[in-house]
Amino acid sequence: MLEDDKMVQIIAEACLDEKAQDVVVLDVSELTVIADYFIIASGKSTIQVNSIVDYVEETLKEYDIHPIRREGHQQGVWVVLDYDFIILHVFRSEERDYYNLENLWGDARRIEFETV
């Protein structure tokens, strides 16, 4: 099993590899029991949103890691991959602006990650 910070890095990089916009990592461990990290990313269209999610899943399969829950893929406007302690939210840009998770979780610490 990967360490938390390594898995966060892999997911964020996979999002960027698929040209996700505005990738943000939030440490929500002190604010909720549902996860330690939220990773939030945007795509310009439903096709790109689904492409980002599919690529993340493919990348993590190489480590034999699979989401415990996957929601929203059919609609492609807000897809959630739940990896237990890491939850990935991939939005179409319009929905991300509307739901504004970064503001909702504004007390969360932002995590910087290195881009390769």
The pLDDT tens digits of the residues spanning 40-96 come to 999 999 999 999 999 999 999 999 999 999 999 999 999 999 999 999 999 999 999
Write down the pLDDT at residue 69.
96
Residues near 48 by Cβ (< 8 Å), separated by ≥ 6?
18, 19, 20
Per-domain boundaries in the chain: 4-111
pLDDT score of 2: 75
Residues in Cβ contact with 69 at an 8 Å cutoff, skipping those fewer than 6 apart: 80, 81, 82
pLDDT, one tens digit per residue, over 29-39 is: 999 999 999 99
- Look at domain 4-111 and name its CATH class: alpha beta
Taking the model in full, what pTM does it have? 0.94
Say if residue 113's pLDDT is above 80.
Answer: no
For residues 2-24, one letter each, b for 16 or more C-beta atoms within 10 angstroms of the residue's C-beta and e for the rest, the string is eeeeebbbbbbbbbbebebeebb
Give the DSSP H or E segment for 70. strand 69-71
pLDDT number for residue 114: 72
Predicted local confidence at residue 116, as pLDDT: 60
Does the structure show a pLDDT above 90 at 15?
A: yes
